[in-house]
C-alpha cells in the first residue's frame, strides 16, 4: 500500500486496512481490548468526531483479529473472535448475520462451512459459538443510527 498524500482523512474513519496510518491511541486501544475481554458489556461513549470508529476499526479490530489468529494457530480454536457491525439501515439482523458469518469463517472447526441460521440473532450466535468454540466479541459501531433508521413497530428482523 502506498502512503497517501495526507494521513488525515477528515470526517471519515480509518479502517483496518489503514491501521499503519493510525497511531497515538495505544492506551485507549489497550483499555478497550481489556474491557471487551473482561466484561459482558463495554460502552464506548464520547463526543461526535473524536475518532471512536477509527479507534475501533484501525486499532482495536486488527489487534483482536491478530490475537484470534494466533490463538487459533496455537490451540486449534480462537479464544475470542471480534465481530464489528455498523450497517444499521434496511434489515440489520440479516446483515449482522452475514457479517458474523464472515468474521467466524477463518476460525471454524471441522471441514464443512455451515451457513448460520437467518432471522434470529440468538440462533446465529449459538451456531457461531458451536462451530468455533470461541467467545464472540461483538462491537456495535454507530449504534445510534439503528435508532434513526428503524421504526418502532415490532416485526421480524428487528434487533429489539
Q: How high is the mean pLDDT of the chain?
A: 87
Q: What pLDDT, on a 0 to 100 scale, did the predictor assign at position 155? A: 57
Q: At 88, is the pLDDT very low, low, confident or very high (cuts 50, 70, 90)?
A: confident
CA distance 44 to 52: 8
Q: Is 24 a domain residue?
A: yes
pLDDT greater than 70 at residue 64: yes
Name the grid cell of 144. Answer: 445510534
Residue 114: what pLDDT? 77
Tell me if 135 is assigned to some domain: yes
Q: Do 56 and 85 meet the contact criterion of CB atoms below 8 Å apart?
A: no
* C-beta separation of 58 from 23 below 8 A: no
2 — pLDDT class (breaks 50, 70, 90): low
Distances, alpha carbon 147 to alpha carbons 25, 89, 94, 97, in Å? 29, 10, 17, 19
Domain that holds residue 58: 16-149
Among positive and negative, which fits the CA dihedral 141, 54, 71, 32? Answer: negative
Any domain includes 156: no
Contact 124, 117 (CB under 8 A): yes
Position 11 in a domain? no
pLDDT in the model for residue 48: 85
Q: Residue 74 — pLDDT band, cuts 50, 70, 90?
A: very high
pLDDT band at 1 (very low <50, low <70, confident <90, very high): low
Number of domains, the chain:
1
Distance separating alpha carbons of residues 140 and 148, to the nearest angstrom = 15
Distance, CA of 115 to CA of 98 (rounded, Å): 9
| Residue 8, in any domain of the structure | no
Residue 96 has φ and ψ, to the nearest 5°, of -65, -45
Measure the CA angle with vertex 79, ends 92 and 122; round to 5°: 30
- 155 falls within a domain: no
Mean pLDDT for 54-74 is 96
Please say if the pLDDT value at position 75 is more than 90: yes
Q: What is the pLDDT of residue 130?
A: 94
Between 34 and 22, where is the model more confident? 34
| Domain annotation covers residue 137 | yes
Grouping H, G, I as helix, E, B as strand and the rest as coil, residue 31 is helix
10 occurs within a structural domain: no
Amino acid at each position: 500500500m502506498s502512503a497517501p498524500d495526507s494521513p488525515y482523512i477528515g470526517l471519515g474513519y480509518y479502517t483496518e486496512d489503514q491501521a499503519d496510518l493510525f497511531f497515538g491511541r495505544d492506551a485507549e486501544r489497550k483499555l478497550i481490548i481489556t474491557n471487551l475481554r473482561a466484561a459482558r458489556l463495554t460502552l464506548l461513549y464520547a463526543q461526535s468526531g473524536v475518532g471512536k470508529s477509527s479507534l475501533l476499526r484501525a486499532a482495536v479490530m486488527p489487534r483482536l483479529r491478530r490475537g484470534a489468529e494466533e490463538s487459533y494457530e496455537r490451540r486449534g480454536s480462537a479464544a475470542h473472535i471480534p465481530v464489528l457491525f455498523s450497517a444499521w439501515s434496511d434489515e440489520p439482523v440479516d446483515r449482522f448475520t452475514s457479517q458474523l458469518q464472515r468474521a467466524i469463517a477463518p476460525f471454524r472447526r471441522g471441514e464443512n462451512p455451515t451457513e448460520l441460521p437467518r432471522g434470529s440473532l440468538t440462533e446465529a450466535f449459538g451456531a457461531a459459538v458451536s462451530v468455533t468454540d470461541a467467545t464472540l466479541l461483538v462491537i456495535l459501531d454507530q449504534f445510534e443510527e439503528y435508532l434513526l433508521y428503524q421504526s418502532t413497530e415490532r416485526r421480524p428482523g428487528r434487533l429489539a
